[in-house]
């Protein structure tokens, strides 16, 4: 029995139930539309039913609509949102999806009143999808209320605010939360594991498991799926460190809205079961946006590498003739999700420039060759990184990739530094077109992070295009470090 319950908990996520509802909706709506179009007398004489044609067309519709819904961002946890938000989104998506099918129908010369067919299909399909999604919500609510589907969570905050949220969770079984414990952030509070700070309630004694210095250990011990933060006067550095640690452990963080200014980068305001909270999410782009950005990266990189091939060959020849060593310089960098890769650059320094160990390049660095100074000032040395883009290690625009040793070093100085690793690093970026110094200080690192988080929060094709244009302008100005 326990195995069955665990299977339900892991498999019947909101996204999975939405997918199952959508598959059923596509099948039902397609069957109705197929009957109306070909087997009723509404649009000419009925035709003979051909199973092979029917099931092939049904398969095509299934693939089309599930892919269209996925690219449109319909497969996320809509259960925590208002059903009206979900339903209006469905109407918008199904309208555009049905509009494309409308043009396919126009190719059928025998179709009568194609606009009526389009309207009929849109109405039937939208209604059935919304009905299916609403049914999925009802099933989710039932399973959560019965404790079959649960979300293990830890509450973090002051005693009063945590107690208030904890009591709401107890009263609202359909939320599905299972409170593993409460971590109090108040200083000077006498906390013993399993106590409630001397306060006793009949049915909802606060299950305190520690203070804020015990939180990281609590995350590893209890392994929650979510952390709920309820604070009045937050310790900003503590919360940023908490979010960074939760991101490493794939734990969702939800916080009260007035902390938004301290979590630029992934914060998206929403009403969680009617309570205004902010979800710290690692999904920064809709699927279609992510695919579009990747396609742009590939096309742009191919254009640069192919059109500029004579210049790149000449550059390689000069590098080879000027000093001993390889034409290309490979260096390990940390990319998306902490995955390391070898960045490719034209060698701009003398051979064995780092024989004494890894170090940041300095202004007027004596290790840089004469032609290397020109390449670095014009950013010409970074052209081979378009190969990294084609391989998927980098993007055209994104935070600058750092070396693993510096990532670890900066992460100790600034605990939330690794949050910039949520996206692919870029050849250029918002910080790169704005920087004025290379000094390695905590203040400079934090300033870079502000620019990185600004880009992460506002990623768009328009912003990428602006950064690319700014980068081209700076290349002609000789903006790079020499």
C-alpha to C-alpha distance for 4 and 82, rounded to whole angstroms? 30
Q: How far is CA 421 from CA 202, 233, 275, 284, 424, in A?
A: 46, 28, 30, 12, 7
Helix boundaries (H) for 182-308? 215-222, 236-248, 287-307
C-alpha to C-alpha distance for 414 and 406, rounded to whole angstroms? 12
Render pLDDT for 261-296 as a digit per residue (tens, 0 to 9): 444 444 445 555 555 566 666 566 777 778 889 999
- Identify whether the C-beta of residue 442 lies closer than 8 Å to the C-beta of residue 405: no
Render pLDDT for 38-91 as a digit per residue (tens, 0 to 9): 766 666 566 677 788 889 989 999 999 999 998 888 888 877 777 888 899 999
- Identify whether the C-beta of residue 278 lies closer than 8 Å to the C-beta of residue 260: yes
C-alpha to C-alpha distance for 287 and 282, rounded to whole angstroms? 13
Render pLDDT for 378-423 as a digit per residue (tens, 0 to 9): 888 889 999 999 999 999 999 889 888 888 888 777 767 777 888 8
Render pLDDT for 423-463 as a digit per residue (tens, 0 to 9): 899 999 888 887 655 555 666 777 777 788 778 877 888 88
C-alpha to C-alpha distance for 352 and 358, rounded to whole angstroms? 11
Can you name the CATH fold of 151-280?
Rossmann fold (3.40.50)
Find how far residue 1's CA is from the centre of its chain: 36
Name residue, tokens 């011990």: 221
Domain residue ranges in the chain: 2-145, 151-280, 287-477
């Amino acid at each position: 029995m326990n195995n069955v319950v665990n299977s339900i908990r892991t498999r019947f996520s909101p996204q999975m139930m939405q997918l199952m509802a959508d598959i059923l909706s596509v099948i039902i709506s397609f069957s109705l539309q197929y009957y109306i179009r070909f087997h009723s007398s509404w649009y000419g004489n009925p035709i003979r039913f051909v199973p092979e044609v029917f099931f092939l067309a049904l398969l095509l519709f299934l693939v089309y609509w599930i892919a269209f819904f996925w690219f449109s961002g319909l497969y996320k946890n809509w259960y925590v949102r208002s059903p009206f938000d979900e339903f209006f989104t469905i109407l918008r998506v199904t309208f555009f999806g049905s509009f494309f099918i409308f043009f396919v129908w126009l190719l059928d010369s025998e179709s009568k009143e194609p606009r009526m067919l389009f309207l009929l299909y849109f109405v039937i399909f939208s209604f059935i999808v919304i009905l299916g999604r609403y049914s999925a919500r009802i099933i989710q609510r039932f399973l959560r209320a019965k404790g079959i589907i649960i979300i293990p969570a830890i509450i973090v905050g002051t005693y009063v605010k945590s107690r208030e949220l904890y009591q709401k969770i107890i009263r609202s079984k359909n939320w599905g939360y299972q409170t593993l414990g409460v971590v109090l952030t108040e200083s000077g509070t006498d906390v013993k594991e399993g106590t409630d700070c001397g306060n006793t309630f009949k049915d909802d004694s606060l299950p305190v498991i520690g203070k804020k210095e015990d939180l990281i250990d609590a995350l590893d011990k209890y392994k929650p799926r979510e952390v709920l933060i309820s604070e009045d006067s937050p310790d900003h550095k503590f919360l940023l460190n908490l979010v960074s640690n939760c991101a490493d452990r794939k734990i969702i963080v939800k916080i009260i809205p007035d902390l938004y200014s301290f979590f630029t980068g992934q914060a998206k305001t929403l009403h969680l079961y009617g309570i205004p909270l902010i979800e710290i999410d690692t999904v920064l782009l809709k699927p279609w946006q992510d695919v579009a950005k990747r396609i742009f990266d590939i096309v742009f990189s191919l254009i640069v590498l192919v059109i500029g091939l004579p210049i790149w060959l000449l550059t390689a020849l000069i590098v080879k003739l000027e000093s001993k060593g390889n034409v290309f310089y490979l260096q390990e960098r940390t990319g998306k999700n902490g995955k390391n890769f070898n960045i490719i650059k034209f060698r701009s320094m003398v051979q064995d420039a780092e024989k004494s160990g890894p170090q940041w390049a300095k202004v007027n660095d004596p290790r840089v060759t004469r032609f290397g100074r020109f390449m670095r000032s014009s950013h010409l040395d970074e052209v081979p990184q378009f190969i990294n883009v084609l391989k998927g290690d980098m993007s055209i625009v994104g935070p600058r990739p750092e070396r693993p040793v510096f990532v670890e070093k900066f992460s100790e100085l600034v605990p939330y530094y690794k949050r910039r690793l949520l996206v692919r690093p870029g050849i250029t970026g918002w910080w790169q077109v704005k920087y004025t110094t290379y000094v390695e200080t905590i203040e400079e690192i934090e300033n870079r992070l502000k620019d990185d988080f600004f880009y992460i929060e506002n990623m768009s094709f328009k912003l990428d295009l602006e950064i690319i244009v700014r980068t081209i302008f700076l290349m002609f100005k000789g903006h790079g470090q020499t």
